Amino acid sequence: MNENIVKRNALLAQKVIKGLQSRNMAGYYAENKEDALQLALSLIPEGSTVTMGGGMSVHEIGLPAALKAGNRNFIDRDEWEDKRAAALMAYDADVFLASCNAITEDGELVNIDGNANRVSAIAFGPKKLVFIVGMNKVCSDVDGAIKRARNVAATTNAQRFGLSTPCSKTGACMNCKSPDTICCQFLITRFSRQPGRIHVILVNDSLGF
Ligand code: SF4
């Protein structure tokens, strides 16, 4: 990575972390994926029950594989036939892993969901949330974050899942009401009433989309 981008990421991350702290959330900065993995593991006590709701970034730092190899009870929904049962278990988990579709410089998290299992668990349920967020997802404000969530994250996911949506064909959000749309629920996490519940690890890398 270009050294000027590294410097910029380190400075910008401190601004985001201050924003998160002002919203009763904890922020951390990892200089690379390996540091992010070790930081995430330090936030997940041994013996805890851990679930997740998708999240390419979580996989990209190798967290699910490390949890399976360690002494945590990691519930891998991909291994469950009954996806609804797996999703419902998330609400009573000790730790829920996620990324976000975008985060503002002032620490607001923006997520879009089709089935809503991910955004509902972020809003309520799991005792602790650990977000893995590449610096590519930092946006200046909520408007910019929603635009990113629609035009980058949702559009790419629609293509990834082979959905029949306008964005799958054009590469841009057309604000559709297609039966296949994955933009059903928008969640802006602007404050946590429970101190110690939400932890955001910003990573000096481009993770997810
Ligand atoms: S609203 Fe429709 S067109 Fe826009 S990103 Fe979502 S699925 Fe794609």
**Which residues form ligand 1's pocket by a CB distance below 6 Å?**
150, 154-155, 158, 165-167, 173-176, 178, 181-183
Q: What is the pLDDT of residue 140?
A: 98
Residue minimizing CA distance to atom 6 of ligand 1 = 183
Homologous superfamily of 3-203 = NagB/RpiA/CoA transferase-like (3.40.50.10420)
Residues of the chain with pLDDT under 50: none
Locate the ligand 1 atom nearest the alpha carbon of residue 183 and give its number: 6
The pTM for the full model equals 0.96
Task: Indicate the top mutation candidate among 182, 184, 186, 209 to test ligand 1's pocket, ranked by most ligand atoms within 8 A of CB.
Answer: 182
Burial of 51 (0-12, 13-18, 19+ CB in 10 A): buried
> Are the CB atoms for 101 and 111 separated by under 8 Å?
yes
Q: What is the pLDDT of residue 86?
A: 87
Ligand 1 centroid, distance to 167 Cα (angstroms):
6
**Residue 32: its pLDDT value, please?**
97
**Alpha-carbon distances, residue 95 vs 15, 37, 128, 175, 199 (angstroms):** 26, 15, 5, 33, 10
How many angstroms separate the alpha carbon of residue 180 from the centre of ligand 1? 9
The closest residue, in CA terms, to atom 7 on ligand 1 is 181
The residue among 19, 22, 41, 44 whose CA lies nearest residue 30 is 41
Give the per-residue pLDDT at 81: 86
Residue to mutate, 147, 157, 164, 165, ligand 1, most ligand atoms under 8 Å from C-beta: 165
- Cα–Cα separations (whole angstroms), residue 76 to 18, 94, 96, 207: 33, 14, 12, 21
Q: What is the pLDDT of residue 77?
A: 84
pLDDT digits (tens, 9 = 90+) for 114-165: 999 999 999 999 999 999 999 999 999 999 999 999 999 999 999 999 999 9
**Smallest CA separation from ligand 1 atom 4, residue:** 173
Type of residue found at 55: G
**How high is the pLDDT of residue 146?**
98
